[in-house]
Amino acid sequence: MRGGENTDLFDPKTQMDSDFSRHGSSSEGDFGFAFNDSNFSDRLLRIEIMGNPSDSRSDVEGCTSIADWARHRKRRREDIKKESVTISDIVACPEEQILTDEQPDMDGCPGGDNLDDEGEAMIEESLSGSDEEDTTSEPSWGMDCSKVVRVIELHISSPILAAKSPFFYKLFSNGMRESEQRHVTLRINASEEAALMELLNFMYSNVVSVATAPALLDVLMAADKFEVASCMRYCSRLLRNMPMTPESALLYLELPSSVLMAKAVQPLTDAAKQFLAARYKDITKFQEEVMSLPLAGIEATLSSDDLQIASEDAVYDFILKWARAQYPSLEERREILGSRLALSIRFPFMTCRKLKKVLTCSDFDHEIASKLVLEALFFKAEAPHRQRSLAAEESASVNRRLIERAYKYRPVKVVEFELPRPQCVVYLDLKREECAGLFPSGRVYSQAFHLGGQGFFLSAHCNMDQQSSFHCFGLFLGMQEKGSVSFGVDYEFSARSKPSEEFISKYKGNYTFTGGKAVGYRNLFGIPWTSFIAEDSLYFINGILHLRAELTIKRSTDPPPQ
């Protein structure tokens, strides 16, 4: 094993993932009986607790929630930054944190026989006068922090620790003088004591005794310092099995940037993303709460394929609103939108009208906006089977910009003509499961499209036929309500049908629209719902219902449709 690899020689990962239990694991690799027992140890670990006794509380004492833990840890980080004397950090420079024992060699007893092996697991040493006199002083992260306020000595087995931790492996095998010393000294802050003891116990027994989220987070951070990846995975698994809150989920999202071994906490981070995506699935119900989320929370929420939102246009509008509120500086906002938030917008599923607005939006760098819009238009121009192929290729990646969400308003593809008269051809695809979900009285709407300056939409219904004798599939064309404008439109509904799989006309008509009105046919296919939705239905091709609507603005001299 190379010292730089974050792996364990006896890695319980496979066992944990297949047969995990918080209270224990298989007896294989369980050396709990040897913890702090001189009979099974070859070294003595001296742990020097730094700081005033008033600092000796662990991070979790007084922390009743994840939010308390995060606030406490943030204060500690801020205090450490204010130190006038640099305190060596085991993550940054582990070699400086390990002290070769220059003190008398425990009365020269190689087996540590002068220690009370049958007594307490942790042996505290009294300190000399000057340190004891300082115990009543105010807490300080200055010079006083360099004082040893307490010492714990433990019998350890170097093979067991080295098997679990590359940190200890390097320590015991680097050929340096400290690797030959029987006594090894570590210095830690008082607040890290409880977590380190849990970590050492885990390295022997593969279990921890703490059961609260704040305590587990402390152990996880200690495991990261000492490169015990198996303990990080163990704590992550326990945290994933606990009830999650928005506060804890946001904290877990920050872990990869806070630890050295980010891969070990990735499952926990993924679970946090899933929790936020599920909680804010319908962001319209939590607008105020979602608007206050940090960047990582917004990215997690908008990563969902199941986001219940009207359209991708609405996602774009929401992101702009959030970015303007969180980043008042235009330069900073452009950076965040271009490098981070643009990845959360699925531009190929935006309407062409909105894509035009992206090109002129000052919040986006023009070069980036042009590239995104061009990619979206190229995707829209692809044949449906090619679009599905591209989406399938991307489905396994982190970037899911070619995956269609479960929009409230279904996307459409529109072809527009200006001559010889204003006309548009609209394509709407519905999945079999979407149609099945309409029974007995549901309806699904398309995104808006435009003709002659007016907005229109399609709506598919499950309704009763005109005689109310059975359920059937209906298709309707509606005009968005805009004042009292009215004009005539010729329209034709078609659908692909087996065996030719070509579009076959199903209904023609004309109608003089006024705002808010809709027209269509209650039984588009002239068959009962059960026949329409059946496995051998003529109208579902590879599980997709392909619909087409042709709209033409009617002139007063036009003859009625045949």
CB 221 within 8 A of CB 259: yes
Give pLDDT tens digits for 369-390: 999 999 999 998 888 788 888 8
End-to-end CA distance of the chain: 82
Whether residue 79 is predicted with pLDDT greater than 70 in this model: the reply is no
Q: SS3 for 415-434, per residue? A: EEECCCCCEEEEEEEEEHHH
Task: Pick the closest to residue 141 from 75, 187, 196, 205 (CA basis).
Answer: 75
pLDDT value, residue 131 = 39
Residue-averaged pLDDT of the chain: 79
Whether residue 137 is predicted with pLDDT greater than 90 in this model: the reply is no
Say how far apart CA 472 and CA 463 lie, in whole Å: 6
Mean pLDDT, rounded, for 190-194: 90
* CA-to-CA separations, 229 to 12, 163, 195, 298, 378, in angstroms, rounded: 10, 11, 15, 29, 45
pLDDT value, residue 84 = 36
Say how far apart CA 204 and CA 454 lie, in whole Å: 72
**Longest Cα–Cα distance in the chain:** 114
Of 61-65, 107-111, 117-121, 234-238, the least confident: 117-121
Task: Pick the closest to residue 64 from 220, 245, 193, 209 (CA basis).
Answer: 245
What DSSP letter does each residue of 452-500 carry, written as one string? TTEEEEEEEEEEE-TTSSSEEEEEEEEE---TT-EEEEEEEEEEEETTT
Give pLDDT tens digits for 176-188: 555 567 888 889 9
Mean pLDDT, rounded, for 433-455: 91
Whether residue 34 is predicted with pLDDT greater than 70 in this model: the reply is yes
Most confident range (mean pLDDT) of 64-73, 109-118, 547-556 is: 547-556
Interstrand relation of 183-189 and 43-50 (parallel, antiparallel or unpaired) = parallel
Whether residue 22 is predicted with pLDDT greater than 50 in this model: the reply is no
Task: Pick the closest to residue 537 from 525, 524, 549, 521 (CA basis).
Answer: 525
Give pLDDT tens digits for 253-269: 999 988 899 999 999 99
Most confident range (mean pLDDT) of 170-174, 270-274, 283-287, 553-557 is: 270-274
pLDDT value, residue 76 = 58
pLDDT value, residue 509 = 92
pLDDT band, very low/low/confident/very high, at 144 (cuts 50, 70, 90): very low
Indicate if the alpha-carbon torsion angle 359, 363, 364, 366 is positive or negative: positive
Side chain identity at 382, as an amino acid letter? Answer: E
The answer for residues whose C-beta is within 8 angstroms of residue 94's C-beta and 6 or more apart is: 167, 170, 171
Whether residue 339 is predicted with pLDDT greater than 70 in this model: the reply is yes
pLDDT value, residue 393 = 83
Count of alpha carbons within 13 angstroms of residue 349, beta-carbon side: 28
User: Comparing 313 with 91, which gets the higher pLDDT?
Assistant: 313
